[in-house]
Amino acid sequence: MIVTTSERPDESTVERANSLAEEWQAAYVPRLQQSISRMSRSNGNVDVAIVGPKEVKLVPADGPPLFFHPSMALVRLKRLIGGGRDTLVSVSDAAPGDVVLDCTAGLCADALVYSYAVGRQGKVIALEASPVLHAIVREGLKTYESGIPEVDNAMRAITAIQSDYESYLAQLKDKSVDIVYFDPMFERPVNSSSALAPLRSQARMEPLQIGSVREAIRVARKKIVLKDNRGSGHFAELGFSLARKSGSSVAYGVINSED
């Protein structure tokens, strides 16, 4: 991978590009009015990360581009702002002041919904194991503008951390968060979810293990929540009770830590 900038970058954009290149241990290559496809080819058909004033975008040599966007979270948040309900918030019993640990942040869509639900009194920690995906989303959370103050405030309030959840859970004290959330990359992709397609090149693919669930039970005060395909056998295998379905393709499983 190489890191470059948008065309005619200002000094701060060049500084951000150099900083990200150092973080990723990648080469920074000045744009010099070159096309992205030409830069990829001339550097050995590599992925190209483009740093702009408002966005960091990864353009793979083969595949769709990856960049931060709230996707369906924006629709869900508009519903919540208007007084409606959200299935994830409901099955989690998420409330203002809660501390939520999202173990598999991805593009932070669910972390964003949680952030609005727990409010300024609460906290959402979003873990992402992939250094590239983490940095793209971290920068997007700082700069993306939805045009809705409540949504932008919820984005800015998320604490994004680059870590695998096994290591992070192990260092937490007993009953130190309210909700632990897992949304591992589905083994069977939801074909209709085209917005998630670019994630699959960067996201961690290992399935959730029972040891991590036990650690989550140790650290959670209220609930552990798992999102998976509706027909997945992982809910029963890992000790989750199937909660209400969120739609035709996915469902949520819940463990009550208080039991």
Average pLDDT over residues 42-55: 94
**Residue 71 in 3-state DSSP?**
coil
Which pLDDT value is given to residue 207?
A: 86
Higher-confidence residue of 61 and 89: namely 89
Does 3.40.50.9100 match the CATH number of domain 72-256? no
Residue 171 pLDDT? 97
Task: Say if residues 223 and 255 touch (Cβ distance below 8 Å).
Answer: yes
Which pTM was predicted? 0.91
Domain ranges of the chain: 2-63, 72-256
> Given this model, what pLDDT does residue 5 score?
97
Amino acid letter, 250: V
The reported pLDDT for the residue numbered 232 is 82
**Phi and psi angles of residue 21, each rounded to the nearest 5 degrees, phi first:** -60, -40
pLDDT band at 230 (very low <50, low <70, confident <90, very high): confident
* pLDDT for position 182: 96
User: Rounded to whole angstroms, what are the CA distances from 213 to 9, 182, 198, 224, 253?
Assistant: 45, 9, 27, 8, 12
Residue scoring higher pLDDT (257 or 103): 103
238 falls in which pLDDT band (50, 70, 90)? very high
Q: Take residue 150 and report the two structure tokens written for it.
A: 């409540």
CA-to-CA separations, 140 to 80, 109, 156, 206, in angstroms, rounded? 22, 12, 9, 25
Strands 99-102 and 177-182: parallel
Q: How many residues does the chain have?
A: 259
Is pLDDT larger for residue 229 or for residue 31?
A: 31
> What pLDDT is attached to residue 196?
54
pLDDT score of 189: 43
Measure the CA–CA gap between 18 and 51, rounded to whole angstroms.
9
Mean per-residue pLDDT, 63-75: 91
Which percentage of the chain shows pLDDT scores above 70?
Answer: 90
The helix (run of H) or strand (run of E) holding residue 66 is strand 66-67
Helix H segments across 82-148?
87-92, 109-118, 131-143
Please determine, for residue 136, whether its predicted confidence score (pLDDT) is greater than 80.
yes
Q: Backbone dihedral region of 242: left (phi > 0), alpha (psi from -120 to 50 degrees) or beta?
A: beta
Instruction: Give the residue among 230, 222, 201 at the shortest CA–CA distance from 100.
Output: 222
* Pairing verdict, β 56-59 and 48-51: antiparallel
Neighbours of 69 (CB within 10 A): 16
Residues 6+ apart with CB under 8 A from 67: 55, 56, 57, 58, 136, 140, 198
pLDDT above 60: residue 247: no
Residue 236, sorted as left (phi over 0), alpha (psi -120 to 50) or beta, turns out to be alpha
pLDDT of 142: 95
Can you give the pLDDT at residue 198? 56
The whole-number pLDDT of residue 231 equals 80
Higher per-residue pLDDT: 101 or 258: 101
Token digits for 99?
């501390």
Alpha carbons 80 and 98: distance in angstroms, whole number: 17
Average pLDDT, the chain: 90
pLDDT at 89: 97
SS3 70: coil
pLDDT tens per residue across span 150-202 = 999 999 999 999 999 999 999 999 999 999 999 986 444 444 444 555 555 56
CB 92 within 8 A of CB 179: yes
